[in-house]
Amino acid sequence: MAKISDSIVIRGIRIKNRIVMPPMVTFSFHGDDGHYYGRQHIAHYTARAQGGAGLVIVQATRVAGAADGTGMWTAGSLAALADIAANCRAHGAATIMQLSCGDTDINALAAADIAAMQADLRQAALIACSLGFDGVEYHFAHGFTLCKFLDAAHNKRTDRFNGDAAARTRILTELLPAIRAATRANFIIGVRMGEYLPDSRDGVTAAQTFAAAGIDLLHISFAMRPPTHAVPAGFPCSPTTWSACKIKKEVSVPVVAVNEIRTADQVRCLIESGCADLVAVGRGMLADPEFANRVLAGQPVNPCHGCGRCLWFTDHAKCPASAQG
């Protein structure tokens, strides 16, 4: 079985180890000169790349405005994002930008609205490629807009974007040929999604459909809501993490496991048991930017305190763990 220090190659991109920084919105950060992204974001992601992460996934960036340079796609934001990609590369980390469509009632969208959304989904990937990112990850999880297309119970549309798994994934899959044609041959296209859509079989089928369409990487979190199903005795992680282990058995593309993974033992168990190909460490990496380096060196990490409501997301300066790190 693999070890956490082993590299993995995805679409020609070598990821130096199995530890991932997942996308986490930096709510209390401020961009520069009125732009969304800025120096705080550059320093934040650079520190985790320097801290040893093999793959850094930049927080959810709304695709709205990608086609006309507005929203989160202004010149100042693009310059900051380019610096993030360059700095992470300089420290040996691959970088992916997560792309989101926000939170919209999909059942109220007109055909023209979906066409505009798809134009932004495509253009955002092309821009990410031009900025030096190694790939993009489309955010089909956590009950947001794209997740609603996937969920067989929520999606009530009567057009070609509802029906079987091929129809419910079409919002993205029909764009893949155009994105592939306009990006580098080794540009990774991934999807973050959940298992229960609303049933496990729906999630497995959606994952298989994405993989068959050419998606390179599946990052398994939760769908409309976190699962509460029991996990096997001795499994050291959450039901959400167990979803990744289940889907990995059903697809041939690499799978990332995530959710409340904060210790070296959890990371090691997931990789060495073959439950996942990569492991995303969120709050653990917020608490300790050097998390990956320390785990790989067998050193103790500066642990996340497990605050009931994560103070980092309220105000990063108030996080008791990062203040000690």
Domain boundaries, the chain: 8-324
Q: Beta strand 13-15 with 8-10: parallel, antiparallel or unpaired?
A: antiparallel
Closest CA to 109 of 173, 163, 158: 158
**Percent over 70 (pLDDT), the chain:** 99
Q: Give per-residue pLDDT as tens, 120-179.
A: 999 999 999 999 999 999 999 999 999 999 999 999 999 999 999 999 999 999 999 999
* pLDDT at 306 (0 to 100): 87
Q: Give per-residue pLDDT as tens, 72-119.
A: 999 999 999 999 999 999 999 999 999 999 999 999 999 999 999 999
Cα 246 to Cα 263: distance, rounded to the nearest angstrom: 21
Q: Give per-residue pLDDT as tens, 205-237.
A: 999 999 999 999 999 999 999 999 999 999 999
Cβ burial of 128 (10 Å; 0-12, 13-18, 19+) is buried
Q: What is the dihedral sign for C-alpha 140, 9, 61, 72?
A: negative
Specify the DSSP element, H or E, that contains 47. Answer: helix 39-50
Closest CA to 55 of 216, 165, 163: 216
Overall size of the chain counted in residues: 325
* 314 confidence band (pLDDT: 50, 70, 90): confident
* 308 confidence band (pLDDT: 50, 70, 90): confident
Task: Report, at the CATH architecture level, how domain 8-324 is classified.
Answer: Alpha-Beta Barrel (3.20)
Residues 281/52, Cβ–Cβ less than 8 Å: no
Which token pair is 73?
Answer: 């796609």
* pLDDT at 325 (0 to 100): 44
* pLDDT at 323 (0 to 100): 61
* pLDDT at 23 (0 to 100): 98
Q: Give per-residue pLDDT as tens, 2-16.
A: 999 999 999 999 999
Q: Give per-residue pLDDT as tens, 124-137.
A: 999 999 999 999 99
* pLDDT at 1 (0 to 100): 82
Cα 321 to Cα 325: distance, rounded to the nearest angstrom: 6
